[in-house]
Chains A and B, each alone.
Chain A
Amino acid sequence: MMLPMASLIRREYLRWIRAPTWVISGLMSPILYLLLFGQAFNLGKLLPPGTPASALSQVLSGAPNYFSYFAVGMVAFASVTAAMFSGTGIIFDKQLGILQRILSTPISRRSVFLSSLVFRGMLTLIPAFLVVGFALLLADVPGVAGLTVSSGVTVLDSVQFLAAALVLSVAFTALFLSFGFAAQRIESYFGVVTILQLPILLTSNAMYPTSIMPTWLQYLVGFNPISLAVNIMRMSLFGTAGYPYSAGIYFAGLLAWAVLFVGLALLLASRALRTNPAASPTGSALSQAIAE
């Protein structure tokens, strides 16, 4: 039963490739962050002159400089930000009646959701890759900070990096996709996204080290799926020194979030795809009251 899913993925792909706005929305913000924020907000300069590089590196969990530390955070930041748009397509499909047409065919309801998850999940990885590539390039530009990784990065480390990025993408794509299935209008969707956006992004260690935060915030940040993924990614590139837990523990935590979000999304999506006013509890109670 892969063909129906492949058809829906092809449909989303064709729509995406013909609507080039994603280039601007997907690329601009991470690049601006890297070029402006990452260059200006150089924590290393705040330390008194003469402080040994190792002291800074310790604060930055092994990263050689602040920009490198920050760039890995931006990888997660970029994919989560991109995931926030995942639910928009399904709302338009609903409003245009396209979803109704799809639902009148024998494709399973779960496949409708999963095909969106697969395609949108892949899409959110694109800005993540672009951030990595761009940050690495900056290292070769004189006078600009760039991403420098430790010399001992193995293939296995890279796989670990990719796996963390992928699971993070899938988790947040599922979450925002489920809001799209539940919402009737684009305004209410972005209402929810706006409420969640800053708390999700700011309670993470994407931009600054946990050690400079108050303890209560450190707890919050520690559980944030973005932090968990970023920990794994930084461990892959800068080494594991200074972390209280192993990458495996962080990965387990990240997977738990992903399972939770995908589960929630499956629930919300299957509820929304029933497309049946009489099936809602209030609906059937009312109909019964009328019938009597």
Chain B
Amino acid sequence: MTVGAGNPRTSAEGGHDVVIDVDNLRMIYPAPKPGALPTVAVDGVSFQVGRGEIFGFLGPNGAGKTTTISILTTLLQPTAGHARVEGIDVGTRPNDVRRKLGLVFQRSTADEELTGRENMAIQAGLYGHSGTSVDRRVTELLVQMDLGSVGDRLVKTYSGGMRRRLELAVGMVHDPKLLFLDEPTLGLDPQGRAGFWRYIRTLRGSEGVTVFMTTHYLDEADQLCDRIAVIDRGKIVATGTPKELKDGIGGDTLEVAVAPGAADLSPLLTPMPGVKAVSRREDSYRVKCTNGEQLIPKVVLAAEQAGISVRGVTVAKPTLDEVFLELTGHAYREEGESPKEDRSGGNGGGSDQGRRP
């Protein structure tokens, strides 16, 4: 099911300028041992990302985000399907694709025994860049990432936030026009995340960089990304702008609290204009509707007339949380609630979410 516009924004010239084009991608990890089940990590995923977009891949742990990003960055051959980056097939011409992109991994991959500056210079060398232009770029990025004063310290003395920012600086050192970020703000404090969002917006704005990022933070997807694909258990359940997704599930939720023991309000609420569904939990009602604010006086009036005393009414605009619940039929699990990620492959064919029929 696709909600909202599935296509990237059109470029200024009026034509589609597709940077990432993914067609029916599948990735099945072989069973870790005989008898265990293989894991279907990515299950027929298709989407497109336009130039200059910040595209978010939103899903809970184990949804298949890292696997998708690994395929797009040539680190993994898909079981089936195709992916093109800047028009180049990632499977057949991986080295040309590698030149086009910068990648920031989910976990820290900097060399602990080296300084931040050395890590960046060596990464630049791997892309064939050296000399004073690299020195300048490194210094500039260190300052931008707020690492100016620690650039010459060994990475093993860095704090978690510094490491995250260094990862980004290392991924940017060769000046890529396409950035892949795998959970870039994982473990950052709110301040660090806000700073990161600011930086990503600047990048897109001033340098026209296209950003493909994964996240399992709903608010991050909501506030930072131009468009989102919601992925759950290897499948994309929706694609669109955050607003489209939220509008797509049918608007507001009215919470109506009544006095304990009052008569049932549902028969009065259901026929009201704009109301889509009513559910009752003891003395409170959840009313799904298209026009929350307009409905409030009608609800209060109808209840008074029926002799039911209303204790309070709140109107809630939809969140991606609800989008997720609506689309997948199960609640979104934030970090901490989900089982620990197991990369050792020791948990048989089971995914984090027990991906089984």
Contact = CB atoms under 8 A, between A and B. Distances in A.
A278 B125 contact: no
B125 A3 contact: yes
Given A14-B118, A97-B105, A291-B80, A278 B126 contact: no
A149 B338 CA distance: 70
B84 to A, nearest CB: 17
B165 to A, nearest CB: 16
Contact of A10 (B107, B113, B122): B122
Contacts of B73: 104
Interface in A73-130: 96-98, 100-108
B128 A291 contact: no
A290 B103 CA distance: 31
A19 interface: yes
A287 interface: yes
A276 B77 contact: yes
A200 to B, nearest CB: 30
A100 B105 contact: yes
A97 to B, nearest CB: 4
B26 interface: yes
Contact of B126 (A7, A96, A282): A7
Given A100-B105, A286-B28, A290-B28, A18 B113 contact: yes
Nearest to B129: A3
Given A106-B99, A278-B78, A283-B30, A98 B126 contact: no
B50 to A, nearest CB: 23
A105 B127 contact: yes
Interface string B102-118: 01010111110110001
Contacts of B103: 101, 104
Given A11-B114, A97-B107, 10 more contacts: A3-B125, A7-B125, A10-B122, A97-B109, A101-B103, A101-B105, A108-B95, A284-B79, A286-B38, A290-B38
A19 B103 CA distance: 29
Interface residues of B, number: 42
A105 B126 contact: yes
17 contacts: A4-B125, A6-B125, A7-B123, A11-B111, A11-B114, A14-B118, A15-B114, A18-B154, A97-B108, A101-B103, A104-B103, A105-B123, A276-B76, A279-B77, A286-B28, A287-B80, A291-B80
B29 interface: yes
A224 to B, nearest CB: 36
A199 interface: no
Nearest to B100: A106
Given A4-B128, A106-B126, A278 B107 contact: no
Contacts of A100: 75, 105, 109
A278 B28 contact: yes
Given A101-B103, A106-B95, A287-B38, A278 B79 contact: yes
Interface of A: 1, 3-4, 6-8, 10-11, 14-15, 18-19, 96-98, 100-108, 275-280, 282-284, 286-287, 290-291
Contacts of B30: 277-278, 280, 282-283, 286-287
Contact of A106 (B29, B75, B110, B128): B128
A34 to B, nearest CB: 31
B130 interface: yes
Nearest to A291: B80
A286 B36 CA distance: 12
A106 B129 CA distance: 12
A96 B125 contact: no
Contacts of B77: 276, 278-279
A8 B29 CA distance: 31
Contact of A278 (B27, B31, B108): B27
Contacts of B40: 290
Contacts of B26: 291
A140 B101 CA distance: 61
Contacts of A276: 76-77
